[in-house]
Amino acid sequence: MTGVAHAPWRESETLAQDEPWPPSAERPGDWGDVLIAGLALAALTLSWTGILGALSILLQLAVLGALVWLKPVTVIDAFKRGWPLLIVGVLPCLSTLWSTVPGVSLRYGAQLAVTLAIAVAVVAVSPLRTYVRGVFLSTLMILAICIVYGRRGASAEGPVLIGILGSKNAMAFLAQLVLVSGVAVLGDGRQPLWARLPALAGIPAALFVLATGQSAGGMITAVLGLVLLAGFAGLAWLPPKGRAAAAAILVLMLAPLAAAMPILVEEAQTFASDVLHKDAGLTGRDWLWAFADRLIADRPLIGHGYRSIWLGDDATTIGLLRWAGLTDGKGFHFHDNYREWAVDFGLVGAAVIGLALGASGVRLIVNAVSRPGLAPAFVTAMFLVMAVRAKVENVFMPFQPTTLLLFALAAWAWVAPPPPLEDEAPQ
């Protein structure tokens, strides 16, 4: 071991050819390893602290800078390996060239590129098992803060917990991550005991928040996440020839669920009644989807530019915001990320992003089949869950936890080779 092994807190200028990168199994670390793991955990945690405003963004930038300074060769190599994701990060910035509001597309495109950089850097410096543990601990901390904070928000059935996140859907997504990552950590015998024990409290807390949060979509995707986690982890008990068939069945089961997305969007009925103040007989999402389709037809090839529709100042933006009863479109979207891509980047750009992320999903599935275990199962299951959620939500927003998670999960497909078979054997 050379380079990093001699100075784990500050990487040398060259990386030895025989250096295992990134390590698939955790080794006893020193203070440098603890520092880097702490920075990665901080990046995951800070993505949930939008309530801090600009301070949260500055802290995330500081963490990114620290990771790049401490591990420059590792992070740069990660970007080289994950080059398809660079396309996803560059395209929103490039849309400035044809955007109807160039300044908006450049600003938010640059922010999205930084979000991608944070995700890749975290993956680059983290063994897979450490990353899964980091997702669990970071989301558990935020869930505890939300419960203690106690802020409640409106839903069709009455006030529900929204904590520091501001919406019941975000709260449900947080609880879902605590639940699925907690199960992945608790069931992994090679996770340290100090990380497994909190899962005994975190899993019931997440279940309680999901059960009382009045988010039908959150409940459905939480169940889906657990089923996919169990299914991909269970491949370890099958002979190699049977794993591919079982994995294909798991993936095919997503097709009818995706087709039934209008049912899952039942959670968005409060979107029509509480947010948009529309008549219950006219669901806001249907109108938004039809409007998005018209925008796509107007500029089908290259689109209108990243975030230009919601943050512009022309008649289209003003009309949308007036219809929604809003004065600012920063956090608003078409409730269908696939349509959102086509509106912003055209059918060509949406296809490019879809191919890059789709290829990531295929590689994750192949890794989970060839080297099954709870850690590979978690990243594969959550990536597929994100693909389903994208049908009814926007998972492509700068500095948002959903976006950071999506980019990190996709990065695992390119950055790290699958762990050795014996490292992820069933416990």
> What does the pLDDT look like over 207-241, one tens digit per residue?
999 988 877 778 888 999 999 999 999 998 988 87
User: Taking the chain, what is the end-to-end CA distance rounded to the nearest angstrom?
Assistant: 29
Residues 402-411 have a mean pLDDT of 96
> What does the pLDDT look like over 58-89, one tens digit per residue?
999 999 999 999 999 999 999 999 999 999 99
DSSP secondary structure, 16-75, as one string = -TT--SS-SS-----HHHHHHHHHHHHHHHHTT-GGGTHHHHHHHHHHHHHHHHHSHHHH
Q: How far is CA 309 from the centre of its chain?
A: 23
What the block records as the tokens of 121 is 């850097």
Q: Is the pLDDT of residue 176 over 50?
A: yes
Residues 50-55 have a mean pLDDT of 92
Report the alpha-carbon distance of residue 257 to residue 287 in Å, rounded.
22
pLDDT of residue 13: 38
Close Cβ partners of 125 (under 8 Å, ≥ 6 residues apart): 22, 36, 39, 40, 67, 70, 71, 74, 75
pTM: 0.87
Question: E strand or H helix at 152, and its extent?
Answer: strand 152-153
Q: Which amino acid is at 281?
A: G
Report the alpha-carbon distance of residue 103 to residue 329 in Å, rounded.
15
pLDDT of residue 95: 96
> What does the pLDDT look like over 367-390, one tens digit per residue?
999 889 999 999 999 999 999 888
Report the alpha-carbon distance of residue 128 to residue 26 in Å, rounded.
9
